[in-house]
Amino acid sequence: MTVAIVTGASRGAGRGIAIALGSHGCVVYVTGRSEKAGDHPLPGTIYETAAAVTAAGGTGIAVRVDHAVDTEGEALIAQVLREQGRIDILINNATAVYDELNAPGHFWEKPLKLVDMLDVGLRSGYVASYYAAPAMVAQKSGLVIFTSASGAVHYVFGPAYGAHKAGMDKFAADMAVDFKDFGVAALSIWMGALLTDRLKAIIESDRAKYGYLEDTAETPEYTGHVVWALYNDPGLMGLSGQTVIGAELGAKYGVLDEGRQPPSYRDTHKIEPRVQYPNIIR
């Protein structure tokens, strides 16, 4: 049975990805800090997600992790290896997101806490990958995914958001270099706008401005189905190191999102991921 970890899975993208992997029969460890109603302004807990994973056909296991604490990230990996003996898929999705992120104003006019994305987001993804890597290398297989978005290459919400997304893409590119000889792949996936509770609230706040998103946004589960198709691609290692657009990868594998094909940023915004130069300096 495939063993997966999805960080930041109480709600939003992480929850959707976890449930999708569960529908393919995976054992899915879901992490986050929300254990009961009221722990976060938005609904969702790790236990609810774990139950949904099991209901979808997998085995959901909730683990309370504060990804701002390196030792808790280390303990998570140790627990999974102790209980399952392997890690096949690691989804680095946990991110510190605050409501003020999309508020109007320049970066110095918004709360300093927005830069927390570089701790719970970038650093936490590095930490989880760091501790999972030896097990994946030893088993000579595995897939490390960084959830990202087009803000990596254009302005979205300010510099903290952009640095986080660009960093996720760069992590995948450079980790792939180190993983190359061991059968482990690393990729960053640009997700489209996701119909999460947060986005639904944004749409309702100004339907004239954001209403169009209902017709183009992806479900939170879509990326999980794309990841599963990617994981089972015999040519996976040939894609390692790339930043891919989830909608395009879905089209390649014939993965639909509730019966439709989501649009690609390449078509809607005329933008695409940056391609890394092949130079390697060690």
Q: How far is it, in rounded angstroms, from Cα 57 to Cα 193?
A: 26
Backbone angles phi, psi at 25, to 5 degrees: 85, 15
Q: Within 13 Å and on the Cβ side, how many CA atoms surround 94? A: 31
Q: Which pLDDT tens digit goes with each residue over 114-127?
A: 999 999 999 999 99
Looking at residue 209, its pLDDT comes to 83
CATH number at residue 10: 3.40.50.720
Pick 209 or 275 by higher pLDDT: 275
Helix (H, G, I), strand (E, B) or coil at 78: helix
Among residues 91, 53, 47, 43, which one has the least CA distance to residue 200? 43
- 199: its two tokens: 């986005």
Judge whether 214 lies within some domain. Answer: no
Judge whether 101 lies within some domain. Answer: yes
The catalytically annotated residue of 131, 161, 222, 231 is 161
Judge whether 153 lies within some domain. Answer: yes
Average pLDDT over residues 82-94: 98
Task: For 8-31, give one letter per residue: b (16+ CB within 10 A) or e.
Answer: bbbbbbbbbbbbbbbbbebbbbbb
Q: Which pLDDT tens digit goes with each residue over 188-213?
A: 999 998 888 777 777 888 888 888 87
Looking at residue 193, its pLDDT comes to 86
Among residues 143, 31, 35, which one has the least CA distance to residue 77? 31
Contact between residue 238 and residue 32 where contact means Cβ atoms under 8 Å apart: no
Judge whether 203 lies within some domain. Answer: no
Beta strands in the chain (DSSP E): 3-6, 27-32, 59-64, 89-92, 142-148, 184-190, 243-245
Q: Which pLDDT tens digit goes with each residue over 26-73?
A: 999 999 999 988 778 787 899 999 999 999 999 999 999 999 999 999
How far apart, in Å, are the Cα atoms of 210 and each of 41, 78, 162, 202, 213? 21, 43, 21, 7, 6
- 57: its two tokens: 């056909």
Judge whether 213 lies within some domain. Answer: no
- 274: its two tokens: 């940056």
Cα 27 to the chain's mean position, in Å? Answer: 17
Cα 146 to the chain's mean position, in Å? Answer: 5
Q: Within 13 Å and on the Cβ side, how many CA atoms surround 143? A: 28
Q: What's the pLDDT band for 264 if we cut at 50, 70, 90?
A: very high
Among residues 80, 10, 15, 74, which one has the least CA distance to residue 45? 10
Looking at residue 203, its pLDDT comes to 82
Judge whether 206 lies within some domain. Answer: no
- Using alpha carbons only, what angle is made at residue 229 by residues 227 and 231, rounded to the nearest 5 degrees? 65
Looking at residue 38, its pLDDT comes to 75
Q: How far is it, in rounded angstroms, from Cα 191 to Cα 219?
A: 10
Judge whether 281 lies within some domain. Answer: no
| Average per-residue pLDDT for the chain | 95
Annotation says 161 is catalytic: yes
Among residues 200, 242, 244, which one has the least CA distance to residue 220? 200
Task: For 194-224, give one letter per residue: b (16+ CB within 10 A) or e.
Answer: bbbebbeebbeeeeeebeebeeebbbbbbbb
Judge whether 156 lies within some domain. Answer: yes
Looking at residue 39, its pLDDT comes to 76
Number of domains in the chain: 1
Neighbours of 123 (CB within 10 A): 17
Among the residue ranges 9-13, 40-44, 131-135, 144-148, the one predicted with the least confidence is 40-44
Instruction: Give whichever of 15-24, 33-42, 94-103 has the largest mean pLDDT.
Output: 15-24
Range of the domain at 133: 3-193+220-268
